[in-house]
Amino acid sequence: MNLLAEQLAPDFCKFHVGYQRISRISLVQWLVLLLSIYILTGFIGQVVLNGDRFPLANVTSMSEAEIALVLVADESKSLATRKGTDQGPRAMRCAFENSEVFKREGKTILICPMRNNYLNRRILDTGFTSRNDLHSLICELVTNKIVPVIIGGDHSITTVAIDAISATLGKIGLVYFDAHPDFVSSKRDYYGSVITDSLGRLDGSNVTFIGTRAAELEEVENIQRSGFQVVSPLDIVENGINRTIDKICTRNTSRKYVSIDLDCLDPAYAPGVSVPTPCGLTSVELTCLVKHAVSSGIVGMDIVELCPKYDMNDITASLAARLLSESVASIRSAYLS
């Protein structure tokens, strides 16, 4: 043992001397080093993010595009106790790369939906956009007759989208897939007041809530006053999916926006959301309804509230990616018809 200690001692001394040398580097030098690492890794992160694209994006400029994917990593208007929807867009893109493509012999092959496909679509991935820049970007897209497909982020980005689109088109219809009506009026400008904040821009005869099941009393009163159409999960169970499709397609014209809060789904299918609510839609019910909604014509759509921190094995992120595939495959642009 003594021999071993003697053998180890010199190395320990060398380390000790080295340690003292390191500690002699001045505090200022340490700060400069740490700042450089911070800036460098932040810069690298930006480059990697901006280099990333959804695999289904096949054009690189607005002049070529008919559909634009817009990512908004923002949850500044959420009051949820479960935070993390700002990580939703990134998680959805990763899930898309894992579950919506096959990789074989160095090739990436897109999965083709069985009803419609997106291979003849001109799809642009505009990358990440801040909440502040979203309004002007959507105005630009709409002016260029491009359908914005926005990926959030907390649900309040829908308010920005509706405001921007209606600035060009006037009042628009809305199909709102959500467990909650987001129709609070005692508080404004947050993810629970999307409908109240958008009221002046909506065509009241053309608004449908789907999957609604968790409202505050004031929201129930606001719905009754508004005359908006509501289809709860219980309505779907009792009346069947076809009746719901009829409700979407007969009342909602092509000048409509489709918003999908992933919490409209049952938490069994979508645990990774910020406000999970039991007794929701199944994944295939939602997919079916969304495909019918977007194929009857839209001015824009979004998929919001993915909260990866609470997801399990990417189950919600993969479903969100599938919803994106199925939607994009079936979108009929109100700008081109």
Residues that bind Mn ion (CB under 5 A): 155, 178, 182, 261
Using the minimum distance from each CB to Mn ion, give the nearer residue, 138 or 264.
Answer: 264
DSSP 3-state of 67:
strand
- If the CB atoms of residues 74 and 182 are measured against Mn ion, the closer one turns out to be 182
Give min distance, CB of 137 to Mn ion, in A.
22
Tell me the closest approach of the beta carbon of residue 161 to Mn ion, in angstroms.
Answer: 13
**Please, are residues 254 and 297 in contact by the beta-carbon 8 Å criterion?**
yes
Q: Pick between residue 180 and residue 256 the one whose CB is nearest to Mn ion.
A: 180
Rg (CA), the chain: 24
* Nearest CB to Mn ion, comparing residues 178 and 219: 178
The candidate with the shortest Cα–Cα distance to 259, out of 313, 321, 211, is 211
Select 100 or 182, whichever has its Cβ closest to Mn ion.
Answer: 182
- Relative to beta strand 172-177, strand 202-210 is parallel
Smaller CB distance to Mn ion: residue 80 or 147? 80
Q: How far is the CB of 90 from Mn ion (least distance, A)?
A: 20
C-alpha to C-alpha distance for 148 and 151, rounded to whole angstroms: 10
CB of 120 to Mn ion, least distance (A): 33
E strand or H helix that includes residue 261: strand 256-261
* Closer residue to Mn ion in complex, CB, 126/212: 212
Cβ-based nearer residue to Mn ion, 121 or 155: 155
The set of long-range contacts for 104-110, using a CB threshold of 8 Å and a minimum separation of 24, is: 108/55, 110/55, 110/56
Q: Which of 165, 250, 154 is nearest to 202 (CA)?
A: 165
CA distance 230 to 127: 34
CB 199 within 8 Å of CB 174: no
Say if CB 173 and CB 207 are below 8 A apart.
yes
* Burial profile 204-214: b = 16 or more Cβ within 10 angstroms, e = fewer: eebbbbbbbbb
CB of 66 to Mn ion, least distance (A): 27
Q: How far is CA 284 from CA 118, 280, 290, 315, 324, in A?
A: 19, 12, 10, 14, 13
Task: Compute the least distance from the CB of residue 179 to Mn ion, in Å.
Answer: 7
CA 320/CA 326 separation, integer angstroms: 10
In the complex, the smallest distance separating the C-beta of residue 224 from Mn ion, rounded to whole angstroms, is 19
CB of 33 to Mn ion, least distance (A): 45
